[in-house]
């Protein structure tokens, strides 16, 4: 069955009489409210993956599940939280079954668009006598939810991936539901971390609810509602303005995954883009059938990645709202990789989603190369670690993505940072890593010669080496080892990603492994990919090549290969 999805904004109410200055004040007030949620969360969270890495999203929605504001953190959650909120409300009986003080827990991957470890806390917000005005929501990564491993690349159904909380009231009318709380604690290998992070999420949604109530009470609900329509209209116009610059037509391209995590062999997929004026349709209906391994993308995840790609391209650097999504139409086919049917495994749905963003840019860069960048390293290059400490047998866990090189673009070199999907996140400081975890960080360095050559070169990948001080387990999730980051407009390809395990018996490539045992003294090296180059390398200036040499970004051998025009 073919399915089509588009934002549900309702423009039925008039907004012509609203003061535009007041609209801007309310828009910035809503952005500030989402930021208050974020700050409350990171100041009280237990796990570095939240307070350092920022693997979460905090957002505010209107009563129709449209996004009012989201604080900068994990862009990949941008389009999924609305699905979480709507699904969680439906699961508890609908709007009529909501009361002041209710808080809902939801993490069903098929409604949230994330793996089950990304748990959403949703709070309905009321004013006056139980008048619903919207929702505050935070989705954050929990280190373990009782799956077959704390993190997996080889699950065969959704039930292996962790405990599913399908919309449960954690608080009813302000009172904790003890049975649900006990269920959460009982289904984690690291309950202390989960309790700490859950409480931080609760703090965050409550802070957002209070801020939203203050805004609505200050200006009145009718004025607020009219202003929101104007906010959405402005966001929509902003994105439509950029889309209208793309020539009308149908474009298509192919992406690929190294494997589905269970079966050997590359998984290729096709995306079509149809542009008609300022409307843009992303067609995933020709995707391969849903996979035996966990790279399947539930509909919310597929929608989200499309939204991330175009919000970043067309949003003019502004914080997004629901209006940004209105021009986008997403078409899928049920039972395929980008619209699977439960219980198909989907733990690595985010990694397939990363390639969606890259391929969207690749397709359009071939048509209008002066607008879109070359490929980035194309992955989060992530790892999740766990074990028991030697001195007290205490369970521990941690996780992190790792930076990659970004693609060059018309006018500038690529940088080294997180993937577009995770642009608001970061890695933990070495001091945090080494103080909390049983390893030494022997190396974090920019990888010489990892960038794609061009008139503008790509960003560099990293080499990161971790030496184990105790027995440790790790799951590595690194894609695009066989599909190098491409250049644009005659720019050259960059280094691919990889992970290498150093043992007494030699070296092993381990880019996608679940529960890999690391013995004391062994080390593991993450080699993250560089960014592709933009433009013909022959056009790169002598001055820039010389500076790259001085900074040791590139070697003399690299120069001889890619820049024959260079004069020392």
pLDDT at 422: 74
On whether both 234 and 378 belong to a single domain, the answer is: no
Spatial distance between the Cα atoms of 303 and 6, rounded to a whole number of angstroms: 9
Q: How confident is the model at residue 93 (pLDDT cuts 50, 70, 90)?
A: very high
Q: How many Cα neighbours within 13 Å face the side chain of 464?
A: 26
pLDDT at 1: 87
Q: How many Cα neighbours within 13 Å face the side chain of 23?
A: 17
Region 272-289 average pLDDT: 95
Region 196-202 average pLDDT: 97
Query: What are the backbone angles phi and psi of residue 182, rounded to the nearest 5°?
Result: -65, -35
pLDDT at 78: 66
Is residue 438 over pLDDT 60? yes
Is residue 141 over pLDDT 90? yes
Q: In the chain, pLDDT over 90 holds for what percent of residues?
A: 82
**H or E element in which residue 280 lies:** strand 279-283
The length of the chain is 568
463 beta partners: 445, 527
Is residue 312 over pLDDT 80? no
Single residue among 238, 272, 289 that ends a domain in this structure: 238
On whether both 378 and 233 belong to a single domain, the answer is: no
Which range, of 70-84, 136-150, 447-461, averages the lowest pLDDT?
70-84
Spatial distance between the Cα atoms of 295 and 266, rounded to a whole number of angstroms: 12
pTM of the model: 0.92
Spatial distance between the Cα atoms of 68 and 465, rounded to a whole number of angstroms: 42
Judge contact between 365 and 488, C-beta under 8 A. yes
Judge contact between 324 and 232, C-beta under 8 A. no
Is residue 14 over pLDDT 70? no
Is residue 499 over pLDDT 60? yes
Range of the domain at 161: 16-238
- The answer to whether residue 324 sits within a structural domain is no
Look up residue 359 and give its two tokens: 């391929």
Residue with tokens 């939203």: 212
Q: How confident is the model at residue 379 (pLDDT cuts 50, 70, 90)?
A: very high
Query: What are the backbone angles phi and psi of residue 274, rounded to the nearest 5°?
Result: -110, 120
- The answer to whether residue 107 sits within a structural domain is yes
For the stretch 387-393, contacts whose Cβ atoms lie closer than 8 Å and that sit 24 or more positions apart, written own/partner, are: 387/438, 387/470, 387/471, 387/472, 387/473, 389/438, 389/470, 390/438, 390/470, 390/471
On whether both 231 and 380 belong to a single domain, the answer is: no
- The answer to whether residue 257 sits within a structural domain is no
Judge contact between 141 and 50, C-beta under 8 A. yes
pLDDT tens sequence across 287-299: 999 999 999 999 9
Is residue 314 over pLDDT 70? no
Which range, of 8-17, 273-282, 338-347, 388-397, averages the lowest pLDDT?
8-17
- The answer to whether residue 205 sits within a structural domain is yes
pLDDT at 108: 96
- The answer to whether residue 342 sits within a structural domain is no
Region 21-26 average pLDDT: 94
Judge contact between 348 and 153, C-beta under 8 A. yes
- The answer to whether residue 522 sits within a structural domain is yes
Q: How confident is the model at residue 368 (pLDDT cuts 50, 70, 90)?
A: confident
Spatial distance between the Cα atoms of 504 and 443, rounded to a whole number of angstroms: 19
Q: How confident is the model at residue 71 (pLDDT cuts 50, 70, 90)?
A: confident
* Mean pLDDT for all residues in the chain: 93
Spatial distance between the Cα atoms of 227 and 18, rounded to a whole number of angstroms: 6
Judge contact between 537 and 563, C-beta under 8 A. yes
Judge contact between 490 and 532, C-beta under 8 A. no
Is residue 369 over pLDDT 90? no
- The answer to whether residue 89 sits within a structural domain is yes
Give the number of domains in the chain: 2
Look up residue 428 and give its two tokens: 């933990």
Is residue 15 over pLDDT 70? no
Where on the phi/psi map is residue 24: left (φ > 0), alpha (ψ -120 to 50), or beta? alpha
Single residue among 238, 262, 284 that ends a domain in this structure: 238
Of 419 and 218, the one with more pLDDT:
218
Give the 3-state secondary structure of residue 342.
Answer: coil
Judge contact between 56 and 50, C-beta under 8 A. yes
- The answer to whether residue 104 sits within a structural domain is yes
Single residue among 238, 261, 293 that ends a domain in this structure: 238
pLDDT at 478: 97
Judge contact between 198 and 41, C-beta under 8 A. no
Q: Number of helices and strands (H, E) in the chain?
A: 12, 23
pLDDT at 539: 97
Spatial neighbors of 307 by CB under 8 A, at least 6 apart, are 78, 79, 320, 324, 325, 328
Is residue 388 over pLDDT 90? yes
Query: What are the backbone angles phi and psi of residue 214, rounded to the nearest 5°?
Result: -60, -40
Of 95 and 308, the one with more pLDDT:
95
Judge contact between 66 and 82, C-beta under 8 A. yes
Neighbours of 264 (CB within 10 A): 7
Judge contact between 350 and 342, C-beta under 8 A. no
């Amino acid at each position: 069955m073919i399915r089509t999805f588009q934002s549900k904004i309702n423009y039925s109410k008039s907004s012509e009489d609203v003061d535009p200055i007041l609209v801007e004040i309310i828009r910035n007030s809503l952005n500030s409210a989402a930021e208050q949620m974020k700050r409350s969360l990171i100041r009280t969270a237990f796990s570095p993956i939240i307070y350092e890495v920022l693997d979460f999203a905090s957002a505010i929605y209107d009563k129709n599940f449209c996004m009012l504001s989201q604080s900068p953190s994990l862009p990949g959650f941008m389009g999924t939280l609305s699905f979480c909120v709507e699904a969680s409300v439906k699961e508890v009986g609908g709007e009529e079954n909501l009361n002041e003080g209710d808080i809902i827990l939801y993490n069903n991957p098929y409604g949230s668009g994330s793996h089950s470890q990304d748990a959403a806390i949703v709070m309905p917000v009321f004013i006056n006598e139980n008048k619903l005005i919207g929702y505050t929501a935070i989705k954050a990564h929990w280190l373990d939810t009782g799956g077959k491993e704390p993190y997996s690349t080889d699950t065969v159904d959704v039930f292996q991936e962790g405990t599913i909380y399908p919309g449960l009231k954690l608080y009813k009318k302000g009172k904790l539901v003890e049975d649900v709380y006990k269920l959460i604690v009982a289904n984690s290998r690291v309950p202390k971390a989960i309790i700490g992070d859950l409480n931080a999420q609760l703090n965050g949604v409550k802070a957002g609810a209070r801020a939203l109530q203050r805004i609505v009470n200050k200006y009145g609900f009718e004025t607020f509602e009219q202003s929101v329509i104007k906010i959405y209209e402005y966001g929509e116009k902003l994105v439509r303005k950029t889309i209208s610059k793309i020539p009308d037509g149908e474009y298509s391209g192919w992406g690929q995954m190294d494997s589905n995590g269970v079966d050997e062999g590359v998984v290729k997929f096709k995306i079509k883009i149809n542009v008609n004026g300022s409307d843009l349709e992303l067609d995933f209906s020709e995707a391969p059938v849903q996979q035996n391994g966990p790279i399947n993308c539930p509909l919310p995840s597929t929608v989200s990645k499309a939204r991330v790609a175009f919000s970043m391209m067309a949003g003019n650097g502004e914080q997004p709202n629901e209006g940004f999504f209105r021009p986008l139409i997403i078409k899928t086919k049920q039972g395929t990789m980008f619209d699977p049917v439960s219980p198909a495994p989907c733990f690595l749905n985010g990694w397939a989603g990363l390639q969606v963003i890259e391929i969207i840019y690749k397709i359009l860069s071939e048509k209008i190369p002066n607008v879109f960048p070359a490929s980035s390293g194309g992955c989060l290059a992530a790892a999740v670690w766990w074990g028991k400490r030697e001195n007290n047998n205490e369970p521990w866990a941690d996780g992190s993505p790792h930076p990659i090189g970004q693609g060059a673009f018309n006018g500038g070199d690529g940088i080294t940072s997180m993937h577009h999907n995770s642009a608001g996140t970061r890695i933990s400081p070495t001091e945090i890593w080494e103080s909390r975890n049983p390893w030494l960080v022997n190396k974090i360095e920019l990888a010489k010669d990892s960038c794609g050559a061009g008139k503008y070169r790509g960003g560099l990948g990293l080499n990161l080496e971790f030496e184990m001080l105790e027995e440790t387990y790790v799951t590595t999730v690194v894609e695009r080892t066989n599909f190098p980051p491409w250049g644009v407009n005659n720019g050259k390809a960059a280094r691919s990603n990889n992970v290498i395990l150093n043992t007494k018996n030699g070296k092993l490539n381990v880019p996608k492994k679940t529960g890999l045992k690391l013995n004391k003294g062994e080390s593991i090296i993450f080699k993250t990919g560089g960014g592709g180059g933009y433009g013909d390398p022959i056009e790169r200036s002598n001055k820039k090549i010389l500076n790259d040499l001085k900074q040791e970004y590139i070697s003399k051998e690299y120069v001889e290969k890619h820049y024959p025009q260079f004069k020392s």
